[in-house]
Structure 1
Amino acid sequence: MNPTSDVVARLSGAVKRYGQLTALGGVDLVLHRGELLAVLGPNGAGKSTSISLLLGLIRPDGGRAELFGRDPQEIEARRRIGVMLQSAMLPMTLRVGELLRLTASYYPNPRPLEESAALAGVSDLLRRPYGKLSGGQQRSVQFALALCGRPELVFLDEPTVGMDIDARRKLWDAMRALVTEGCSVVLTTHYLEEAEALAQRVVVMGRGRVLSEGTVDALRAQVPLTRIRCVSDLDAATVASWPQVASAERDGARLRIGTNDAENVLRCLLYADASLRELEVQRAGLADVFTELTRDERTLEQEAA
């Protein structure tokens, strides 16, 4: 267990209502020093409300929000964080270097400009006006602004939206570097492979409450599903009728099979098709876990619609 002194942010029984809508219904959330926490959930799950409470942008109607043991609206707490929200209104005419210098001036111990730019991968953009950059480049600059104050905690809301593969990988490396320094990171993302690759712990939310939390491996263990892919002439409907098979579908020459009993299904496949080839076996990923945990939430949304 992490000692209390390692807790950098906390929601305790947090409740937030908007009229008749309960956006959060008593959420408990803890973030430790040097931890990368991914907060996942469908639209309307309560992710943004939880982050807004921790940032001090809104107040809870019940429960408590803490940032470094303080009220999140206190300036002493806010100076220790960096924030990259989903949308940002920045002066379009300022050059990237000017934006970094301006933002760094608000903090007591900022990073050198060159260090922030290198970490975010924007060193070649410093002389360019922000408004002349592509959407992905602007996101990289916003990330540089979030880390330029040398924060102890960074909030990243859908940080890689609009980025190409190279920029996304650079940002992933930068996030890992921040955590290595002892910085904590809260990541909200719809890219489940991003959470799977980066997060030390994952919280899955739905309809204003925490559905499950733990390491990626711990969450995977909740869904004992294995994916099997192979090239086979077997009929997908026939395979789907086998008692151990949860799903089977054809993708061209390939069969895609979901099962909770991979060993027996593999035996049946090899017995039924001696020419079977290109066999791949993969345990449940975070996407499978997310789908299973949020299935009831999505059903309720559809019924309400």
Structure 2
Amino acid sequence: MKHAIELEHVTKQYREKKAVDDMTLHIEQGSIVALLGPNGAGKSTTVNMVLGLTAPTAGTVRLMGGSPRDRAVRNRIGAMLQEVSVIDSLKVEETINLFRSYYTNPLSTGELLRISGLEDDRGKYATSLSGGQMRRLGFALAMAGDPELIFLDEPTVGMDVTSRQLFWRTIRSFAGSGRTIILTTHYLEEADSIADRVVVVNQGKIVADGTLDEIKESTGSRHVSFTAGSNVMTNRLLGLPGVTDVQWTGRRVKVYGRDTDGLLYALIRSDLDIQDIETHKGGLEDAFQSLVGSPEAETMV
């Protein structure tokens, strides 16, 4: 399969700090990749190098077989960044038409207004939009050239629930058409619902890379929880087959292991005094916290 993005031993150094440290990453065409990491992990720096906004200190970056700075390559990509700059005197529709003029084969103005949910706001001055509306305008501008490769940087921040649902329905429809989508978000449930690959970055290095299931399973967050009676002891739980760890919170116990079905079977057969049993397969948030720390730190930097 062809690669949409290729990073080979890429480093970006700012004085004494390596924002990106010898990173090698290949992203296949048509995939949806969530790029996650805590504050200061190097995600923004990586994206900026891929977009050609900054040059690596060492290593090579290729975008769809060419340089990120080539005009022909730029004509095939769209980027929804955190900050959207608009011209004071232009209305929403005029702003969209201006961006359409930069591309060889743009989407129609009507289509861009529809997918961004801005049809009723087409006559407003862009500078008068709310934060959520501005994010939707940013999406319309990112899609103006009908891109093959789309970068979405914290795309739904500030959007209301209805706008967020429209946005993700649109992204899913585009994903089915063979486009490559790179997503950064601190809403881990969004990444969990759409990404087919997760790359976790910390301190400028890739610390995990795989499918959602692979990431979730690699961190050992699967467990069975229950309320413990008087005859439940940690040493007895650790002696059960498949148990890797035991954690107590008052009388509530979490027993960890890769096979939750096997754990549940072993617990039931153990004759231990337990009740209110629940199984937990582990989610992306659990995996992220295990890899890099508190998920609350997850922001694009």
- Band of TM-score, shorter chain: 0.7 to 0.9
Q: CA deviation at 1:82?
A: 0.5
Question: How many residues in Structure 1 have an aligned counterpart in Structure 2?
Answer: 284
Distance 1:269 1:115 in 2: 61
Matching residue's letter, 1:290: F
Distance 2:81 2:102 in 1: 18
2:132 touches 2:157 (CA, 8 Å); kept in 1? yes
Closer, same or farther: CA 268–163 of 1 in aligned 2, 3 Å = farther
Closer, same or farther: CA 113–284 of 1 in aligned 2, 3 Å = same
3-state SS of the aligned residue for 1:90?
A: coil
Tell which has more relative contact order, 1 or 2 (C-alpha 8 A, sep 6+). 2
Closer, same or farther: CA 272–140 of 1 in aligned 2, 3 Å = same
Structure 1 segments, 4+ long, off by >4 Å, are: 227-230, 238-242, 268-271
Distance 2:90 2:233 in 1: 61
Distance 2:119 2:248 in 1: 49
Deviations, residues 17-49 of structure 1 (Å, cap 9, x unaligned): 001111111111122221111101111111111
Relative to structure 2, which stretch is displaced further, 93-102 or 147-156?
A: 93-102
For residues 1-305 of structure 1, what are the structure 2 equivalents within 5 Å?
2=1, 6-228=2-224, 234=228, 242-243=237-238, 244=243, 246-249=246-249, 255=252, 257=254, 259-260=256-257, 262=260, 263-264=262-263, 266-267=267-268, 271-273=272-274, 276-277=275-276, 279-295=277-293
Deviations, residues 82-108 of structure 1 (Å, cap 9, x unaligned): 111111221244221111111111101
Closer, same or farther: CA 21–111 of 1 in aligned 2, 3 Å = same
> What is the match of residue 299 of structure 2?
none
Distance 2:194 2:52 in 1: 26
Deviations, residues 221-246 of structure 1 (Å, cap 9, x unaligned): 2123225466x5x579x787853553
Q: In structure 2, list runs of 5 or more residues that go unmatched.
A: 297-301
Report the identity percentage.
35
Q: CA deviation at 1:293?
A: 1.6
3-state SS of the aligned residue for 2:24?
A: strand
Relative to structure 2, which stretch is displaced further, 177-186 or 218-227?
A: 218-227
1:227 touches 1:256 (CA, 8 Å); kept in 2? no
Matching residue's letter, 2:268: R
Closer, same or farther: CA 240–175 of 1 in aligned 2, 3 Å = farther
RMSD over aligned CA atoms reads 2.6
Closer, same or farther: CA 185–223 of 1 in aligned 2, 3 Å = same
3-state SS of the aligned residue for 1:25?
A: strand
TM-score, normalization by structure 2 = 0.85
Deviations, residues 45-71 of structure 1 (Å, cap 9, x unaligned): 111111011111111111101112111
3-state SS of the aligned residue for 1:106?
A: coil
3-state SS of the aligned residue for 1:26?
A: strand
Distance 1:117 1:213 in 2: 35
> What is the match of residue 303 of structure 1?
none
